[in-house]
Amino acid sequence: MNRLIREAAFSLGYNLTPKIPDADVLGLISSLRPRQCGRPLIRVGADRDGGYLIPDDLEGIEYCFSPGVNELSAFENQLADRRIRSFLADYSVSGPPYPRPEFIFDRKHIGANDNGTFMTLASWKERYLPGYSQDLLLQMDIEGGEYEALLSTPDEMLKQFRIAVIEMHWLERLFDPFAFRIMNACFQKLLSRFYVVHLHPNNCGGCVREESIEVPHVMEITFYNRERAPPGEYCTQFPHPCDADNCSGLPTLPLPACWH
Protein backbone atom coordinates (compact mmCIF):
# COMPACT_ATOMS: atom_id res chain seq x y z
CA MET A 1 0.00 0.00 0.00
CA ASN A 2 2.80 2.42 0.88
CA ARG A 3 4.44 1.72 -2.48
CA LEU A 4 1.16 2.39 -4.32
CA ILE A 5 0.69 5.66 -2.44
CA ARG A 6 4.26 6.76 -3.27
CA GLU A 7 3.83 5.86 -6.93
CA ALA A 8 0.51 7.71 -7.12
CA ALA A 9 2.05 10.81 -5.53
CA PHE A 10 5.06 10.61 -7.84
CA SER A 11 2.76 10.51 -10.90
CA LEU A 12 1.28 13.79 -9.65
CA GLY A 13 4.70 15.41 -9.28
CA TYR A 14 5.30 14.70 -5.59
CA ASN A 15 7.94 12.53 -3.91
CA LEU A 16 6.96 10.96 -0.59
CA THR A 17 9.67 9.74 1.78
CA PRO A 18 9.66 8.42 5.37
CA LYS A 19 10.10 11.09 8.03
CA ILE A 20 13.38 11.35 9.94
CA PRO A 21 13.04 10.50 13.67
CA ASP A 22 12.11 13.52 15.76
CA ALA A 23 15.08 12.84 18.05
CA ASP A 24 17.52 13.37 15.18
CA VAL A 25 15.99 16.73 14.30
CA LEU A 26 15.93 17.81 17.95
CA GLY A 27 19.57 16.77 18.33
CA LEU A 28 20.62 19.05 15.49
CA ILE A 29 18.45 21.90 16.80
CA SER A 30 20.05 21.53 20.24
CA SER A 31 23.54 21.86 18.76
CA LEU A 32 22.50 25.19 17.22
CA ARG A 33 21.34 26.86 20.43
CA PRO A 34 22.89 30.35 20.62
CA ARG A 35 25.72 30.90 23.10
CA GLN A 36 27.17 34.06 24.56
CA CYS A 37 30.57 35.07 23.17
CA GLY A 38 31.72 37.78 25.57
CA ARG A 39 30.93 40.60 23.14
CA PRO A 40 27.67 42.45 22.46
CA LEU A 41 25.84 41.83 19.23
CA ILE A 42 25.43 44.78 16.87
CA ARG A 43 23.18 45.20 13.87
CA VAL A 44 24.93 45.82 10.57
CA GLY A 45 22.91 46.64 7.47
CA ALA A 46 19.30 47.61 6.96
CA ASP A 47 16.66 47.97 9.64
CA ARG A 48 14.75 45.07 8.09
CA ASP A 49 15.78 42.63 5.34
CA GLY A 50 19.50 42.98 4.64
CA GLY A 51 20.47 43.65 8.26
CA TYR A 52 22.21 41.05 10.44
CA LEU A 53 23.37 40.74 14.04
CA ILE A 54 27.06 39.97 14.53
CA PRO A 55 29.50 40.18 17.46
CA ASP A 56 31.06 43.61 17.92
CA ASP A 57 34.44 42.24 16.87
CA LEU A 58 35.32 43.75 13.50
CA GLU A 59 38.62 45.35 14.47
CA GLY A 60 41.37 44.11 12.19
CA ILE A 61 39.05 42.62 9.54
CA GLU A 62 39.85 44.08 6.12
CA TYR A 63 37.68 41.97 3.82
CA CYS A 64 34.21 40.45 3.65
CA PHE A 65 33.09 37.78 1.20
CA SER A 66 29.41 38.31 0.47
CA PRO A 67 27.76 35.96 -2.01
CA GLY A 68 24.16 36.83 -2.81
CA VAL A 69 23.43 40.42 -3.78
CA ASN A 70 20.00 40.62 -5.39
CA GLU A 71 18.69 44.15 -4.70
CA LEU A 72 20.34 44.66 -1.31
CA SER A 73 23.86 45.55 -0.20
CA ALA A 74 23.18 47.57 2.96
CA PHE A 75 25.32 45.20 5.02
CA GLU A 76 28.33 45.70 2.78
CA ASN A 77 27.66 49.44 2.59
CA GLN A 78 27.94 49.81 6.36
CA LEU A 79 31.07 47.65 6.34
CA ALA A 80 32.56 50.01 3.76
CA ASP A 81 31.87 52.88 6.15
CA ARG A 82 34.07 50.94 8.59
CA ARG A 83 36.78 50.58 5.91
CA ILE A 84 36.06 46.92 5.27
CA ARG A 85 36.09 46.01 1.58
CA SER A 86 33.57 43.47 0.26
CA PHE A 87 33.79 40.92 -2.51
CA LEU A 88 30.27 40.42 -3.87
CA ALA A 89 29.01 37.71 -6.22
CA ASP A 90 25.62 36.99 -7.77
CA TYR A 91 24.85 35.78 -11.27
CA SER A 92 21.24 36.99 -11.09
CA VAL A 93 22.17 40.70 -11.13
CA SER A 94 24.58 42.86 -13.10
CA GLY A 95 26.06 44.52 -10.03
CA PRO A 96 25.33 45.88 -6.56
CA PRO A 97 22.47 48.41 -6.32
CA TYR A 98 24.90 51.22 -5.47
CA PRO A 99 28.54 50.73 -6.44
CA ARG A 100 31.34 51.85 -4.16
CA PRO A 101 35.12 51.67 -4.59
CA GLU A 102 35.14 49.25 -1.63
CA PHE A 103 33.02 46.75 -3.62
CA ILE A 104 34.48 44.18 -6.01
CA PHE A 105 31.70 42.37 -7.88
CA ASP A 106 31.69 39.11 -9.84
CA ARG A 107 28.67 38.04 -11.87
CA LYS A 108 28.84 34.47 -10.60
CA HIS A 109 26.92 32.19 -8.29
CA ILE A 110 28.82 30.47 -5.49
CA GLY A 111 28.61 26.68 -5.50
CA ALA A 112 30.52 23.43 -5.39
CA ASN A 113 32.32 23.74 -8.75
CA ASP A 114 33.96 26.26 -11.05
CA ASN A 115 32.22 26.62 -14.41
CA GLY A 116 30.59 29.26 -16.58
CA THR A 117 28.16 30.61 -13.99
CA PHE A 118 29.52 29.19 -10.73
CA MET A 119 32.68 29.45 -8.68
CA THR A 120 33.69 28.06 -5.30
CA LEU A 121 34.48 30.14 -2.24
CA ALA A 122 38.03 28.84 -2.36
CA SER A 123 38.66 29.84 -5.99
CA TRP A 124 37.03 33.22 -5.33
CA LYS A 125 39.35 33.92 -2.45
CA GLU A 126 42.36 32.67 -4.39
CA ARG A 127 41.51 35.00 -7.27
CA TYR A 128 41.69 38.15 -5.16
CA LEU A 129 43.59 37.27 -1.97
CA PRO A 130 46.11 34.52 -2.77
CA GLY A 131 48.15 33.69 0.28
CA TYR A 132 46.14 36.03 2.52
CA SER A 133 45.98 34.51 6.02
CA GLN A 134 44.28 37.15 8.18
CA ASP A 135 40.74 36.97 9.53
CA LEU A 136 37.83 37.41 7.13
CA LEU A 137 34.08 37.96 7.37
CA LEU A 138 31.45 35.91 5.54
CA GLN A 139 27.88 37.01 4.81
CA MET A 140 26.00 34.48 2.67
CA ASP A 141 22.45 34.54 1.31
CA ILE A 142 22.32 32.35 -1.78
CA GLU A 143 18.78 30.94 -1.67
CA GLY A 144 19.55 27.34 -0.70
CA GLY A 145 22.92 26.99 -2.42
CA GLU A 146 24.71 27.45 0.90
CA TYR A 147 24.84 23.73 1.70
CA GLU A 148 26.80 22.65 -1.37
CA ALA A 149 28.96 25.78 -1.24
CA LEU A 150 29.95 25.29 2.39
CA LEU A 151 30.44 21.53 2.15
CA SER A 152 32.87 22.06 -0.74
CA THR A 153 34.86 24.77 1.10
CA PRO A 154 38.19 23.54 2.55
CA ASP A 155 38.53 23.72 6.33
CA GLU A 156 41.65 25.83 5.90
CA MET A 157 39.54 28.56 4.33
CA LEU A 158 36.58 28.23 6.68
CA LYS A 159 38.78 28.77 9.72
CA GLN A 160 39.81 32.19 8.34
CA PHE A 161 36.31 33.53 8.87
CA ARG A 162 36.09 35.20 12.27
CA ILE A 163 32.35 35.67 11.82
CA ALA A 164 29.99 33.95 9.39
CA VAL A 165 26.40 35.13 9.08
CA ILE A 166 24.43 32.82 6.82
CA GLU A 167 20.79 32.74 5.79
CA MET A 168 19.92 29.04 5.87
CA HIS A 169 17.04 27.99 3.60
CA TRP A 170 14.79 24.95 3.24
CA LEU A 171 14.99 24.11 6.94
CA GLU A 172 11.54 22.50 6.75
CA ARG A 173 13.29 19.70 4.83
CA LEU A 174 15.11 18.62 7.98
CA PHE A 175 12.37 16.02 8.32
CA ASP A 176 13.36 14.40 5.00
CA PRO A 177 16.05 11.69 5.46
CA PHE A 178 18.17 12.60 2.44
CA ALA A 179 17.96 16.36 2.99
CA PHE A 180 18.69 15.90 6.69
CA ARG A 181 21.87 13.99 5.88
CA ILE A 182 23.20 16.81 3.68
CA MET A 183 22.07 19.65 5.91
CA ASN A 184 23.31 18.00 9.09
CA ALA A 185 26.72 17.40 7.47
CA CYS A 186 26.90 21.09 6.58
CA PHE A 187 25.97 22.22 10.09
CA GLN A 188 28.39 19.82 11.75
CA LYS A 189 31.19 21.06 9.50
CA LEU A 190 30.44 24.62 10.58
CA LEU A 191 30.10 23.68 14.25
CA SER A 192 33.54 22.09 14.25
CA ARG A 193 34.95 25.60 13.66
CA PHE A 194 32.21 27.88 14.99
CA TYR A 195 29.40 28.10 17.48
CA VAL A 196 26.09 29.90 17.07
CA VAL A 197 25.69 33.31 18.72
CA HIS A 198 22.39 34.39 17.14
CA LEU A 199 19.32 32.93 15.48
CA HIS A 200 16.64 34.96 13.74
CA PRO A 201 13.73 33.41 11.82
CA ASN A 202 12.93 35.17 8.57
CA ASN A 203 9.22 35.99 8.79
CA CYS A 204 8.81 35.71 5.02
CA GLY A 205 8.26 31.95 5.10
CA GLY A 206 6.56 30.78 8.28
CA CYS A 207 7.20 27.45 10.03
CA VAL A 208 6.44 23.76 9.82
CA ARG A 209 5.38 21.89 12.96
CA GLU A 210 5.73 18.29 14.06
CA GLU A 211 4.51 17.63 17.59
CA SER A 212 6.69 19.88 19.79
CA ILE A 213 9.17 20.64 16.99
CA GLU A 214 8.72 23.92 15.13
CA VAL A 215 11.11 24.73 12.29
CA PRO A 216 11.18 28.06 10.41
CA HIS A 217 11.57 27.72 6.65
CA VAL A 218 14.40 30.30 6.62
CA MET A 219 16.71 31.34 9.45
CA GLU A 220 19.51 33.89 9.76
CA ILE A 221 22.30 32.24 11.76
CA THR A 222 25.41 34.00 13.05
CA PHE A 223 28.46 31.81 13.69
CA TYR A 224 31.52 32.89 15.71
CA ASN A 225 34.94 31.30 15.36
CA ARG A 226 35.83 29.07 18.32
CA GLU A 227 39.45 30.23 18.16
CA ARG A 228 38.34 33.79 18.81
CA ALA A 229 36.57 33.02 22.10
CA PRO A 230 35.15 29.89 23.75
CA PRO A 231 31.35 29.54 23.90
CA GLY A 232 29.77 30.97 27.01
CA GLU A 233 26.39 30.41 28.63
CA TYR A 234 23.32 29.85 26.51
CA CYS A 235 21.55 33.02 25.43
CA THR A 236 18.25 33.65 27.15
CA GLN A 237 16.85 36.85 25.59
CA PHE A 238 14.68 36.24 22.53
CA PRO A 239 14.18 38.22 20.44
CA HIS A 240 17.36 40.25 20.75
CA PRO A 241 16.68 44.01 21.16
CA CYS A 242 18.30 44.64 17.76
CA ASP A 243 16.18 42.07 15.93
CA ALA A 244 13.67 43.26 13.33
CA ASP A 245 11.21 41.57 10.99
CA ASN A 246 12.53 40.96 7.49
CA CYS A 247 9.14 41.69 5.89
CA SER A 248 7.10 44.52 7.35
CA GLY A 249 3.78 43.34 5.87
CA LEU A 250 3.81 39.90 7.49
CA PRO A 251 3.34 38.75 11.10
CA THR A 252 6.38 38.60 13.35
CA LEU A 253 7.87 35.11 13.57
CA PRO A 254 9.35 34.49 17.05
CA LEU A 255 12.14 31.99 17.50
CA PRO A 256 10.34 28.73 18.44
CA ALA A 257 10.96 27.51 21.98
CA CYS A 258 12.63 24.26 20.88
CA TRP A 259 15.51 26.33 19.43
CA HIS A 260 16.44 27.87 22.78
Q: Is residue 100 part of a domain?
A: yes
Q: Is residue 108 part of a domain?
A: yes
Q: Is residue 256 part of a domain?
A: no
| 44 neighbors 73 (Cβ within 8 angstroms) | no
Q: Is residue 10 part of a domain?
A: no
**Model confidence pLDDT, tens digit, residues 27-43:** 999 999 999 999 999 99
Q: Is residue 244 part of a domain?
A: no
Residue 173 maps to which CATH number? 3.40.50
Q: What is the pLDDT of residue 110?
A: 97
| pLDDT over 90 (residue 18) | no
Q: Is residue 3 part of a domain?
A: no
User: Residue 25 contacts by C-beta under 8 Å, 6 or more apart in sequence?
Assistant: 174, 175, 180, 210, 213, 215
pTM: 0.95
H-assigned helices in 113-250: 121-128, 146-151, 155-158, 177-191
Q: What is the pLDDT of residue 1?
A: 53
Q: What is the pLDDT of residue 210?
A: 87
User: Residue 124 contacts by C-beta under 8 Å, 6 or more apart in sequence?
Assistant: 65, 87, 89, 106, 108, 110
**Model confidence pLDDT, tens digit, residues 106-144:** 999 999 999 989 999 999 999 999 999 999 999 999 999
Rounded distance, CA 40 to CA 114, Å?
A: 38
Phi, psi values for residue 197, rounded to 5°: -115, -10
Q: Is residue 88 part of a domain?
A: yes
Rounded distance, CA 256 to CA 260, Å?
A: 8
Domain that holds residue 124: 19-236
Q: What is the pLDDT of residue 5?
A: 74
Rounded distance, CA 202 to CA 154, Å?
A: 28
Q: Is residue 210 part of a domain?
A: yes
Number of domains observed in the structure of the chain: 1
Beta pairing, strands 136-140 & 63-67: parallel
**Model confidence pLDDT, tens digit, residues 132-186:** 999 999 999 999 999 999 999 999 999 999 999 999 999 999 999 999 999 999 9
